[in-house]
Amino acid sequence: MSIAGISPLTARTGWFKLDKLGVLISLVALAGAWLPFVLFRANRIVPGDPRPVTEALPGPWAALLITVLLVGLLAALFRVAPGVKLIMGLVVLGSLFVLLGLSANFLTPDSDSFARISPGAGFWLLLLAFALLVTDALARLRLRPWVRIAILLGVVGAMVLLLGSGSFNQVSTLKEYATRAPAFWSEARTHLALAFGSVALASVVGIPLGIWCFRIKRVRAAVLNLLNMVQTIPSIALFGLLIAPLAWMAANIPGASALGISGIGTAPALVALFAYSLLPIVSNTLVGLLGVPPAAVDAAMGMGMTGRQRLLGVELPLAFPVILTGIRIVLVQNIGLATIAALIGGGGFGVFVFQGIGQTAMDLVLLGAVPTVVLAFAAAVVLDALVETTSRGTRKP
C-alpha cells in the first residue's frame, strides 16, 4: 500500500538519500576541515604558521567543533527537512565564529601586542560551505519576505553582541580595527554616501528617462545604446577619464569647487557610479512599463483617465516591482564598485583594501573587504524582500 505514490520502503529510507547540492557542500566542508583553521603570525606582515583545529583550540573545544561539523555534514549530505538544514547551518556558522575568537585568545601569548591570529583557509572554506547550506535551506523553505529580514536582523544582532563582548579582540582584523576605529567609521560613511547617493541620483534621473523611452520610441534605441557604451568602460578607466573634465570644471566654473567638484576625490567617484547605475534603472523602468497588462491600461482609459493619471495611478505602480529590481541590482553593484573609488581619493572601505595590499597586510584588506561583502549581502536580502512584497501587492485583484 502506498500514499501519493510513495511506497513505505521509500518513505522509511528517504532520509538516507543523498542531497546533490549537499554532496558538493560536504566536499567543500571536508576540504575546509582538513586545511588550517587559523594562521599564527608573530606580527602583521610575516607569513603565517598554519594551525589545524586540534592545535588552534583547547582539547574539549576542538572536540566540540569537530562534533558540530560532523552533524552539520550529515544534515547537508542527506535529504533532511529544509528547516533542519537551516538550523544546523546556523549552528555551525555560529560555532565557527565563536570558536575563532576563542582560538585567537588561546593562541595569543600573554602581553604580546604584535602577534596576529588570522582565519585560515579551512575557516573560510567551512564558512563558504555552511553559508551555502543556509542559503539553500532558505530557498527551499520559501519563507515570507519579512521572515527573511527578521532572520537577517537576528544574525546581525548576534554578530554585534559577539563583537561587543570582546571575545574577538585578539582576532587580527579586530586588532587592525582597534588602531583605526575613527578612520573606519569615517570611511564607512563615505562608502555609504557613494553607494546610496549614486543610486538615489540615478533613480531620480533614470526613472524619468525610462518613462521618456517608453513614451517616445524614436529615442529608445539611442538612449539604451549610449548607456550600454558606458557600461562597457572598465570602472577604473571611467574613474580616470572623469579626472580631467571635473578638474577643469573646478578651475573654471565659479562655485564648482565650493560644491565639492574636483579632479580627484568623491566627485568623480560619485559621477562614475551614477553613470554605471543608469542602464539597469532605465532598462528596468522601460521593461516594467512595457509589461503592464493592456487590459489595465484600457480600463484606465475607459474611466477617462488622462495620460498623466494613467502613468501615476496605473502604469508606474504595476511596473514598480521591476523598477525596484533594477534599483536592487544597482545598489549591490555600487556597494562593490565604491571600493575602487579609493584609488582616486574617493574614500570608502577601499582605503583599507588598497592600504593592506600595499603593506602586504591581509588583515587590513579584510577590514575593508568584509564590511563591503556584508553590506552588499544585507542590501540584497532587504531589497529582494521588498521586491517580492511589492510583486504580491500588484498581483492582488
Comparing 233 with 204, which gets the higher pLDDT? 204
Residue 48: pLDDT band (50, 70, 90) is: confident
Pair 322, 390: CB distance under 8 Å = no
Rounded Cα distance between 153 and 146, Å, is 10
pLDDT in tens, 29-47: 999 999 999 999 887 777 7
**pLDDT at 12 > cutoff 50:** no
3: β partners: 6
pLDDT at 50: 92
Nearest to 317 by CA among 306, 309, 329, 305: 309
Look over the chain and give the mean of its residue pLDDT values, rounded to a whole number.
86
Rounded Cα distance between 6 and 71, Å, is 28
Chain centroid to Cα 183, Å, comes to 22
pLDDT at 247: 77
Share of the chain above pLDDT 70, in %: 93
DSSP 311: I
Nearest to 72 by CA among 126, 123, 120: 126
pLDDT at 6: 43
**Per-residue pLDDT averaged across 96-105, rounded?**
93
Rounded Cα distance between 312 and 16, Å, is 55
pLDDT at 256: 65
**Per-residue pLDDT averaged across 273-282, rounded?**
91
Pair 354, 369: CB distance under 8 Å = no
Q: DSSP readout, 72-110?
A: HHHHHHB---HHHHHHHHHHHHHHHHHHHHHHHHHHSPT
Rounded Cα distance between 334 and 203, Å, is 13
Domains of the chain: 8-172 (no CATH), 181-395 (1.10.3720.10)
pLDDT at 58: 92
Pair 89, 134: CB distance under 8 Å = yes
**Per-residue pLDDT averaged across 221-243, rounded?**
83
Residue 182: pLDDT band (50, 70, 90) is: very high
Residue 52: pLDDT band (50, 70, 90) is: very high
**pLDDT at 11 > cutoff 50:** no
Rounded Cα distance between 26 and 17, Å, is 14
5 class by beta-carbon count within 10 Å (0-12 exposed, 13-18 middle, 19+ buried) = exposed
Residue 72: pLDDT band (50, 70, 90) is: very high
Q: DSSP readout, 115-149?
A: -EEEE-HHHHHHHHHHHHHHHHHHHHHT--HHHHH
Predicted structure pTM score: 0.85
**Per-residue pLDDT averaged across 310-316, rounded?**
86
The half-sphere exposure of 98 on its side-chain side, counting CA atoms within 13 A, is 13
49: β partners: 40
